[in-house]
Amino acid sequence: GNLCLGGQIGRYSLPAQSQQADAACSVSLVLDLCLTPQGPGLIAIGAGESWNFQAWFRDGGFGANLTDGIEIDFD
């Protein structure tokens, strides 16, 4: 996959945020929109903002890959 993001990139990297995919190859993560990683710190996502997300994953245990990017509008 290609890295689709640029600019200030945050990373969800706490142990509880690392997950194993289920049988349908899906993962989910409950986010605190007031504590969103961006650059070296945490910020709040505001109403009317659009954010882009992408996941990094291990590819069969032998390498790594990236998902397609997704843009989410927060109302």
Phi, psi of 64 (to 5 degrees): -140, 160
Q: Which band of pLDDT confidence, cut at 50, 70 and 90, is reported for residue 4? A: confident
Task: Note the pLDDT tens digit of each residue in 48-72.
Answer: 999 999 988 887 777 888 888 999 9
The token duo for 12 is 């969800």
Of residues 14 and 42, more confidence is placed in 42
Q: Which band of pLDDT confidence, cut at 50, 70 and 90, is reported for residue 40? A: confident
Task: Note the pLDDT tens digit of each residue in 14-34.
Answer: 888 888 888 998 889 898 999
According to the model, what pLDDT value does residue 36 have? 94
